[in-house]
Amino acid sequence: MASSTVRVDLDGKPINQLTICMIGAGGFIGSHLCEKILNETQHKILALDVYNDKIKHLLEPDSLSWAGRIQFHRINIKHDSRLEGLIKMSDLTINLAAICTPADYNTRPLDTIYSNFVDALPVVKYCSENGKRLIHFSTCEVYGKTIGSFLPKDSPLRQDPAYYMLKEDASPCIFGSIEKQRWSYACAKQLIERLVYAEGAENGLEFTIVRPFNWIGPRMDFIPGVDGPSEGVPRVLACFSNALLRREPLKLVDGGESQRTFVYIKDAIEAVLLMIENPSRANGHIFNVGNPNNEVTVRQLAEMMTAVYANVSGEPALEKPTVDVSSKEFYGEGYDDSDKRIPDMTIINRQLGWNPKTSLWDLLDSTLTYQHKTYAEAIKKMMSQPTTS
Ligand SMILES: NC(=O)c1ccc[n+]([C@@H]2O[C@H](COP(=O)([O-])OP(=O)(O)OC[C@H]3O[C@@H](n4cnc5c(N)ncnc54)[C@H](O)[C@@H]3O)[C@@H](O)[C@H]2O)c1
Ligand SMILES: O=c1ccn([C@@H]2O[C@H](COP(=O)(O)OP(=O)(O)O[C@H]3OC[C@@H](O)[C@H](O)[C@H]3O)[C@@H](O)[C@H]2O)c(=O)[nH]1
């Protein structure tokens, strides 16, 4: 519950109550951000999304103590004239709306580009024209591949951080060829970043750009056949959770050699709240938000999730817990991958003093406990039903 004592920013100044237009509020990150804002601050939220299942618990019943501070607007920003009015009513707009599951990038490249670039354009324009602050969600994928990935496999330079550490103000954006449609998302995100940056430079837009590095936790994506399409392919946490719940082997794409750093959603949301409440420190900046200490290969992630889930569910792990699949088989033609993603934390540390806290083991424990409680019964029921031929 938000306390009645005056909250202050990082410079000791009282924080004014804000009205926040949150686009994509019904998604994974949006649901956690709404929860945090309602629980710990007095800010008001205009929550825009096509769906609201993940924030239903925040909207109902009317008797909730924060009921007057969150208003849901079912809006598709592609074609809704109410968007500009809602941005005008707010002090700050946060744009989270996007298609952001890799299975879509090479199979629905047009939808991906429209969602991540074209549909975000009016949001930037309305903020700029109306003098409103914007926090825009980009992605760590704008870095693409590391410089080191082009070195020979046995080159000692691969161990040198200069060849893999991803820095907001120094690293290049390295994508594959146009046929590798995987990069449609990264490229669209890069162009909207450049547009936001240019609006700042030429027209004085007050902006912050966030580059999330694999934020994971409860409510991420969907479990196919339970709360999402049976044939849908969510991001890796939900893919692996789905396999564990069904007692099927976890699929390792191209050997599971790619590396990722995972950060707990609750740590990451603290960074976003600092950006919201410290505009003088956050405006004009691009921030990596990730946990450089939580690096694993996808294979190691599969092994850790298998061990944690056995503990959480009380069921022994499969004898063969993983199976190799090719990326062509799993994602189709045009897939490609980021080899390694370690965020440099210098800028976010200097501006906001933020550091992630939760280890990969701990965040997997709480997340898989949630997955088991939320889905195990539904999956059991579904699997016990005879399949129609
Ligand atoms: N989760 C991560 O680790 C991660 C990593 C990098 C970048 N991001 C970025 O963060 C943002 C949020 O990601 P997320 O993980 O919460 O994804 P998500 O898919 O759970 O949430 C996105 C939300 O936007 C909504 N949306 C999409 N198009 C819309 C439209 N036209 N009109 C209204 N609402 C629309 C969706 O319904 C969904 O609820 C995205 O921009 C994504 O690219 C996330
Ligand atoms: O079942 C699976 C799913 C995924 N994977 C692999 O696991 C890795 C991570 O996959 P994710 O689905 O989490 O997606 P990625 O990390 O590649 O991209 C994500 O990064 C940041 C955001 O912008 C997006 O949310 C998304 O593009 C990839 O190497 C992928 O090939 C598997 O090996 N098996």
Residue 302 in contact with residue 250, Cβ under 8 Å? yes
Task: Give yes or no for residue 361 CB within 6 A of ligand 1.
Answer: no
Q: Is the dihedral of CA 234, 238, 244, 247 positive or negative?
A: negative
C-alpha 183/C-alpha 191 separation (Å) is 12
Residue 233 carries which side chain, given as an amino acid letter? V
Atom of ligand 1 nearest to the CA of 78: 31
Instruction: Return the best residue to mutate from 106, 113, 138, 298 for the ligand 2 pocket (most ligand atoms within 8 A of CB).
Output: 298
Residue type, 205: L
Closest residue by Cα to residue 87 from 121, 127, 37, 44: 127
Residue 247 token pair = 């007692």
Residues 159, 148: Cα–Cα separation, whole Å:
9
Among candidate residues 36, 40, 45, 39, the one with its CA nearest the CA of residue 18: 45
Distance 101 CA to ligand 2 centre (A): 8
Residue from 137, 140, 173, 236 to probe ligand 2 pocket by mutation (most atoms less than 8 Å from CB): 236
- The SS3 call for residue 90 is coil
Instruction: Please enumerate in sequence order all residues whose Cβ is within 8 A of that of 225, keeping only pairs 6 or more positions apart, or say none.
Output: 382
Question: Cβ(298)–Cβ(258) under 8 Å?
Answer: yes
Domain ranges of the chain: 98-380
Neighbouring CB atoms inside 10 A of 16's CB total 11
Helix 28-40 vs helix 265-277: crossing angle, to nearest 10:
60
User: What's the 5 CA to ligand 1 centre distance in angstroms?
Assistant: 33
Dihedral, CA of residue 346, residue 132, residue 203 and residue 171, to nearest 10: 20
Q: Does domain 98-380 have CATH number 3.40.50.2020?
A: no
Distance CA 192, CA 198 (A): 10
Cβ-Cβ contacts under 8 Å for 48 (sequence gap 6 or more): 21, 22, 23, 24, 25, 73, 75, 77, 83, 86, 97
Q: DSSP per residue over 299-311, as a string?
A: HHHHHHHHHHHHH
Q: What is the pLDDT along the chain (389 residues), one digit of tens a residue?
A: 555 589 999 999 999 999 999 999 999 999 999 999 999 999 999 999 999 999 999 999 888 999 899 999 999 999 999 999 999 999 999 999 999 999 999 999 999 999 999 999 999 999 999 999 999 999 999 999 999 999 999 999 999 999 999 999 999 999 999 999 999 999 999 999 999 999 999 999 999 999 999 999 999 999 999 999 999 999 999 999 999 999 999 999 999 999 999 999 999 999 999 999 999 999 999 999 999 999 999 999 999 999 999 999 999 999 999 999 999 999 999 999 999 999 999 999 999 999 999 999 999 999 999 999 999 999 999 888 876 65
Q: Which amino acid is at 46?
A: L
Find out whether the beta carbon of 235 lies less than 6 Å from any atom of ligand 2.
yes
Question: Does the structure's ipTM exceed the value 0.95?
Answer: yes
**Which-ligand-closest: CA of 265?**
1
pLDDT of residue 388: 60
Whether the full predicted model's pTM is greater than 0.95, yes or no, is yes
Beta strand pairing status for 259-261 and 215-216?
unpaired
Rounded (10°) CA dihedral 338, 342, 344, 345: 130
In this structure, which amino acid lies at residue 315?
E
Q: How far is CA 89 from the centre of its chain?
A: 26
| SS3 assignment, position 134 | strand
Widest Cα–Cα separation across the chain? 66
**What is the DSSP code string of 354-368?**
------HHHHHHHHH
Whether omega for the bond prior to residue 61 falls within 30 degrees of 0, making it cis, is: yes
- What is the rounded end-to-end Cα distance, in angstroms, of the chain? 52
- Number of other CB atoms surrounding residue 370 within 10 Å: 16
- Res 4: pLDDT: 59
Parallel, antiparallel, or unpaired: how do β-strands 259-261 and 295-297 relate? antiparallel
- Spatial distance between the Cα atoms of 76 and 87, rounded to a whole number of angstroms: 14
Unique residue bearing structure tokens 């994509």: 24
> Does residue 49 have its Cβ closer than 6 Å to ligand 1?
yes
Query: Separation of 333 CA from ligand 1 center, angstroms?
Result: 24
